[in-house]
Structure 1
Amino acid sequence: MFSRSLFQTSRPMVAKSQVPKAVRYVRTFKQEEQPRLRINALAPNFTAETTQGKLDFHEYLGNSWGVLFSHPADFTPVCTTELGAFAKLKPEFDQRNVKLIGLSAEGVDKHQKWIKDIEELSNLDKFSFPVIGDSNREVAFLYDMVDEEGFKNLSKGIVHTIRSVFIVDPAKKIRLMISYPASVGRNSAEVLRVIDALQKGDSKGVVTPIDWQPGQDVIIPPTVSDADAKKKFGDFKTAKPYLRFTKA
């Protein structure tokens, strides 16, 4: 759940009797209070309203992997294509024990209307994963999802570069972070590829080379001796003493 210490509200220095009822207090975001996210850091937990009701992020993931990806606003062209693509690939993510969760910096009611467009344009029978309503930009702040100029506008207006991707493992550790500019659509196939590579590495104790795809040879880590590699992997090919390939 969000810690109150992470956020402050801007309040005019006047007596309560002088504050108009219509005043809307906004959050003040300070960079020095922002969590530092790194690969293998614990993914910050939060509770939020979504298109599938209120949820706790860690509870939602449970023992699954997770992909959290964000958008600056609803009814935006690039983001509409992205959400449709991820929704179409949901069966592939399900096979890999991965739960999807999107985010947009507007309210849930507007998300529900946007989802109808996504279903229509992507020929979906039903859009079936939650999208967080982050109109207060709390999750965007928590996960540092904006560029330098966008940070200045977190409390107001559209922040064009809330377009990040986080892969989280079942231990709730961040395993990948990618941030895209507003003009470039994401690569959903790459997200799947990275998950395949991470899961292969975790299960087999290997690492994967450039452009690796499932079924291709993997690399034996240099920390594993030739003798241990023979016991663990059987046959392997040595290109250099530090570069050995094997089947997985």
Structure 2
Amino acid sequence: MRLGSTMPNFYANTTHGPIQFYDWLGDAWCVLFSHPADFTPVCTSELSRIAEKAYEFTRRGVRLLGHSCDSLEDHKAWVKDIRSYSSRIPVEFPYPIIADERRELAVRLDMIDESDIYNPEAALTVRALYIIGPDRKVKMAMFYPNSTGRSVDEILRVVDSLQLVNKVKVVTPVDWKMGDEVMVEPDVPQAALPKLFPRGVETIKMPSGMAYVRTTSDYLHSSECWDGLLM
């Protein structure tokens, strides 16, 4: 599942009932993430935080979909523990979790450690996460070791960046977050800047003399940019 790959359609049983992925996704964005196992501490903290922040994903037009190789019965029992772990989770658990006991989907989506892929006793899913666009293409792939919990704020930051650059000819620099300056795409010709960014672009001088670092805050004033962002 490399960047730009098409996420395959699949059928799955989930805690919200059976789904066909393409029908379930519609024209939304999706964060599809796996966890190693139910009833484990780091996974409980992760799924709890994602549930707490579910509204932040929803208002960005993003659907959440969890996954592991546990049974549907285990998922449903574990959700009660997750809810107990946090008092800030909505009354109805906000996203489905896929049950993949036969590990078929985990293998298909490259969510299992290579050394364990053919060992059903040890083949737990790693902390894999894909951000999928409305075109069903993989826009971001993230893999964490089982010992390390992911940052939900970082996932939201990447969603913001992906949705922004999908609408405006910019790229986002290191540690960028919504509201910060962005950089103009390198292939945008200088002559096009006044039309694309009428409020101005600053070109940073470099010893090389090449004008490739160009920054702007103009996207903050563009209604076209904000259309569909932070709905």
> TM over 0.5: same fold?
yes
Q: 1:141 aligns with which of 89, 107, 110?
A: 107
Structure-2 residue corresponding to 1:219: 183
Structure-2 residue corresponding to 1:238: 203
Contact 2:68 2:125 (8 Å CA) reproduced: no
Letter in 1 for 2:50: F
Q: How far apart are 1:41 and its partner, in Å?
A: 1.3
Structure-2 residue corresponding to 1:210: 174
Q: Which has the higher contact order (CA 8 A, sep 6+)?
A: 2
Q: How far apart are 1:158 and its partner, in Å?
A: 3.9
Structure-2 residue corresponding to 1:11: none
**Percent identity of paired positions between Structure 1 and Structure 2:** 42
Structure-2 residue corresponding to 1:47: 11
Q: Does 1:129 align with 2:99?
A: no
Structure-2 residue corresponding to 1:30: none
Q: How does 1:112-191 map to 2 (within 5 A)?
A: 112-123=76-87, 124=89, 125-153=91-119, 156-191=120-155
Structure number with bigger Rg:
1
Residue aligned with 2:12, SS? strand
Letter in 1 for 2:203: T
Residue aligned with 2:166, SS? helix
Q: How far apart are 1:185 and its partner, in Å?
A: 0.4
CA deviations over 1:152-172 (Å, ceiling 9, x no partner): 32xx22434521000000010
Distance in 2 (alpha carbons) for counterparts of 1:185 and 1:158: 20
Contact 1:160 1:182 (8 Å CA) reproduced: no
Contact 2:34 2:125 (8 Å CA) reproduced: no
Distance in 1 (alpha carbons) for counterparts of 2:126 and 2:141: 13
TM-score of the superposition, structure 1-length normalised?
Answer: 0.82
Contact 1:150 1:161 (8 Å CA) reproduced: no
Give ranges in structure 1 of 5+ residues lacking alignment: 1-36
Structure-2 residue corresponding to 1:8: none
Letter in 2 for 1:95: R
Q: How does 1:90-109 map to 2 (within 5 A)?
A: 90-109=54-73
